[in-house]
C-alpha cells in the first residue's frame, strides 16, 4: 500500500471512530438530560428507579396505553385524565421530551430481530409464464380491472397493459430518469370505480435548479379513447420545498398505499444525506402520511412542531421501496434498503424513529463500520432484517384465491437477490419466510392480480405465477 493511500485510509477510519464516539456522547448527554427531567416531573409518582409507586412501574416494558416511543410521548404530552396523570405539554418542550423518552427507554432490554438464513423454497408449487414483454425497466404494476393494469417504466412512460394490448398514456408529468430516479409508483384510489383518481410518484426537478431532484406525488385521471389515452385533471399532493431538493441520483423511495381511514402513505429515501433522515425539517428518509387530496391529517405526529414537515409519519427510514397496508390487520408494512447488509422489514407506526443512520445491522459499502450500534434507546427495531442484503423492492399482501394457503402473507421483491419472498406474519410479528421464485431477474415489483395470480415485474417483462398443478 502506498504511503498516500495508507494515510488516506487511516484518516478515514479515524474520522469514522470520531463520529461513533461523538454519537455515543450525544446519547449519553440525552440520557443525562432525560434523567434530570424524570427526577423533576416523574419520580414522585413512578419511583426513584421507575419501579412504581403512586403510578405504575416503567421498568418492565409493559405499557397499558401503548408501548411505542410515540405512545409514551403522547401520554406525557396529553396526560391521562382517567388515571389522574396531568399533561406536561406546556412544561416539557419537544426536544426535552425526546430526552425523557430516551432515559425511560435506556434500561429496557431491546428486542433483537431474527437473522434470516436457510430459507426454504416453494418454487416447485408455481408455474411461471410471460404476461407482458418488451418493456423498458417496468417499475410498478397496478391492476385496474380483470386483465388490465397500469405499468410505469422508469424511463418515464405510463402504459395501459392488457393480455394482448398496450396503450401509452400521454401527458403525464415529466420525470427525470437519473440513477435510481424516474417514473416510480402508480396506484388507484380505493374508490376508483366512483372517482377515477390515479396516483403517481416520480423524480421531479426544481424548475430553478434542474439538477436538483426530489420525489413528488400527484394524482390525475385517465381518459381512454379508441386510439389514445390522456392524463388529465392533475393535482399536486406533495412537493418538497426548493431548498430540500438534492442533486444525488439515488434513494427516492417510493411506494404509495392507502388505509381505510382515507390516508395515503408514501416514502422518500434519505437521498444519500443519511443524517437528514433524523431531521424533521427535511422530507427525506421518512414515511409520509397525507389525505388523498393532499391535505394534512390533524393527528399526524409532528403537526405543530416548529419547522417540521407536517406530512411526516415516521422517520429514520433509509430507502423504503416497499410499503403496503395489510387489508386484514391494518398494519403498515415497509421494506427498506440497508447499506451493505441490514435490509429491514418494519411495521410503521406514528411518530416512531426507525434509527437510520444511528443504528443499523449493515456496514459501509467499503466494508468499514457504519455505526457501532444495532440498537439505541428511543429507536425502533425492525421486525426482521436481511444480512447480507437482498435489496428489497416492491411489497404486497397476497389476497387471491389461487393460493389459499398463502392468503394474508407478504410478497416481497428483491433486486440483487433476484427473488420474491413469501413472508408469514401475524399481527406485527414475523413468523418465517420462503422463496417463491428465484433467478428470473431483478424483481422491481410484485402484486396480486384480480384473477388471484401473482404478477412480478422483471427488467424487461412481467411474469404471471399460477399454481403448478
Active-site residue set: 251
Q: How many CB atoms lie within 10 A of CB 361?
A: 23
- Candidates 21, 127, 117; CA nearest to 369 is 21
Helices (H), 47-122: 69-78, 94-105
Residue 400 near residue 449 (C-beta atoms within 8 A): yes
- Write the DSSP symbol of residue 340: B
Half-sphere exposure at residue 216, Cβ-oriented, CA atoms within 13 angstroms: 26
- Cell numbers describing residue 124: 416447485
Long-range CB contacts for residues 33-36, cutoff 8 Å, separation at least 24 = 33/96, 33/99, 33/103, 34/99, 34/100, 34/101, 34/102, 34/103, 34/104, 34/106, 35/103
H-only helix segments in 42-180:
43-46, 69-78, 94-105
3-state secondary structure of 76: helix
Rounded Cα–Cα distance for residues 68 and 346 (Å): 13
Q: Are 126 and 467 in contact (CB under 8 A)?
A: yes
Amino acid at each position: 500500500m502506498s504511503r498516500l493511500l495508507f494515510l488516506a485510509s487511516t484518516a478515514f477510519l479515524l474520522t469514522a471512530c470520531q463520529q461513533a464516539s461523538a454519537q455515543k456522547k450525544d446519547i449519553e448527554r440525552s440520557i443525562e438530560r432525560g434523567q434530570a427531567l424524570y427526577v423533576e416531573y416523574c419520580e414522585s409518582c413512578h419511583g426513584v428507579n421507575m419501579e412504581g409507586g403512586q403510578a405504575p412501574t416503567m421498568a418492565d416494558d409493559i405499557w397499558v396505553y401503548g408501548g411505542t416511543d410515540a405512545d409514551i410521548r403522547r401520554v406525557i404530552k396529553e396526560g391521562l385524565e382517567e388515571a389522574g396523570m396531568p399533561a406536561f405539554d406546556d412544561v416539557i418542550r419537544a426536544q426535552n421530551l425526546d430526552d425523557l423518552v430516551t432515559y425511560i427507554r435506556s434500561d429496557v432490554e431491546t428486542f433483537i430481530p431474527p437473522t434470516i438464513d436457510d430459507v426454504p423454497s416453494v418454487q416447485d408449487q408455481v408455474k411461471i409464464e410471460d404476461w407482458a414483454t418488451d418493456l423498458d425497466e417496468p417499475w410498478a404494476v397496478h391492476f385496474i380491472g380483470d386483465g388490465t393494469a397500469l405499468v410505469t417504466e422508469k424511463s418515464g412512460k405510463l402504459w395501459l397493459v392488457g393480455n394482448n394490448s398496450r396503450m401509452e398514456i400521454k401527458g403525464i408529468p415529466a420525470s427525470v430518469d437519473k440513477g435510481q430516479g424516474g417514473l416510480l409508483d402508480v396506484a388507484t384510489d380505493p374508490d376508483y370505480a366512483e372517482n377515477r383518481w390515479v396516483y403517481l410518484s416520480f423524480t421531479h426537478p426544481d424548475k430553478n435548479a434542474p439538477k436538483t431532484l426530489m420525489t413528488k406525488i400527484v394524482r390525475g385521471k385517465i381518459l381512454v379513447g379508441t386510439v389514445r389515452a390522456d392524463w388529465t385533471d392533475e393535482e399536486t399532493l406533495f412537493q418538497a420545498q426548493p431548498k430540500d431538493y438534492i442533486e444525488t441520483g439515488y434513494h427516492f423511495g417510493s411506494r404509495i398505499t392507502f388505509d381505510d381511514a382515507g390516508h395515503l402513505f408514501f416514502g422518500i429515501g434519505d437521498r444519500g444525506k443519511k443524517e437528514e433522515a433524523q431531521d424533521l425539517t427535511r422530507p427525506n428518509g421518512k414515511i409520509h402520511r397525507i389525505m388523498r387530496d393532499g391535505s394534512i391529517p390533524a393527528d399526524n405526529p409532528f403537526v405543530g412542531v416548529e419547522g417540521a414537515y407536517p406530512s411526516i409519519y415516521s422517520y429514520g427510514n433509509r430507502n423504503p421501496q416497499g410499503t403496503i397496508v395489510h387489508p386484514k390487520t391494518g398494519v403498515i408494512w415497509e421494506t427498506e434498503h440497508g447499506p451493505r447488509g441490514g435490509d429491514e422489514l418494519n411495521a410503521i407506526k406514528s411518530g416512531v424513529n426507525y434509527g437510520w443512520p444511528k443504528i443499523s445491522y449493515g456496514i459501509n459499502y467499503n466494508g468499514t463500520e457504519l455505526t457501532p450500534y444495532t440498537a439505541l434507546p428511543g429507536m425502533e427495531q425492525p421486525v426482521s432484517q436481511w444480512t447480507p442484503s437482498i435489496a428489497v423492492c416492491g411489497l404486497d399482501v397476497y389476497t387471491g384465491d389461487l393460493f389459499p394457503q398463502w392468503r394474508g402473507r407478504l410478497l416481497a421483491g428483491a433486486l440483487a437477490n433476484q427473488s420474491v419472498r413469501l413472508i408469514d406474519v401475524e399481527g406485527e410479528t414475523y413468523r418465517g419466510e420462503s422463496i417463491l421464485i428465484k433467478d428470473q431477474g431483478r424483481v422491481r415489483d410484485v402484486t396480486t392480480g384480480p384473477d388471484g395470480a401473482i404478477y412480478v415485474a422483471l427488467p424487461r417483462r412481467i411474469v404471471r405465477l399460477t399454481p403448478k398443478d
